[in-house]
Structure 1
Amino acid sequence: MPAKRVMCVDDSPIMLAKLQHVIESLGYDVCATVLSGNDAIRRYDEVKPDVMTMDITMVGMDGIETTRQILNQHPEARIIVVTSHGQEQMVVKALKAGAKGYVMKPVQSETLNEHLVRALTARG
């Protein structure tokens, strides 16, 4: 069975590299890394990820609005937001926008894997 495809969205190239390393070490295929919500929206059709990780506090369009827009165009999308401590209100907004879960930074591989599995098996 081919590895599930993950698109990573974060405005920090360093965080993208860390996420890519963790996700690939878990056996997933990182099919794209993008630096903005606009790029994620633009590339979604081309990349067709099984699941996405999304930084909640990106410069420009934040992860909440990006989640809304992607799910508006692709209701089947599976999105996990990645956030720092102290952003609980933003996490609630992201979940209300349709995110399937959230992971706190610094990202722990076991926790991320649990959320990826949950997102991939969630209904609706």
Structure 2
Amino acid sequence: MTGMNRNTGAPISGLDQIVQDIGDVLTTPKGSRVMRRAYGSDLPDLVDRPQNRETAMLLVAASAGAISRWIRNVRVLRCQPAFSADGRGALTLDVLPTGTVNAQTLSLTIPF
């Protein structure tokens, strides 16, 4: 599938398209898209929560669930949140593109 780079307008496909799609679905709050209210994730709502195990589990559920629902051409293999001492967090994802021969695992780190 070919898409458009959100910054340059140039055509993109393959892994670049997957990375952009994952970033888009995770950073879009549910209910913010007109005519597509269910699109997005609960990740933006979890940003200011305490850094504990409960929040970590909610982050995993929100991220993996949104990716599984809205991005059909990948399978989530690992989703692990990490918090730093200064309050920042990052989500490490390992995803496997589906529908291609000899697909390799793609590792992404998404700050939140």
TM-score clears 0.5: no
Q: Which has the higher helix share?
A: 1
Into which bin does the TM-score normalised by the smaller protein fall?
under 0.3
Relative to the length of structure 2, the TM-score reads 0.27
Q: Which has the higher strand share?
A: 2
Relative to the length of structure 1, the TM-score reads 0.26
Highest RCO, 1 vs 2 (Cα 8 Å, sep ≥ 6): 1
Q: Between Structure 1 and Structure 2, whose CA radius of gyration is higher?
A: 2
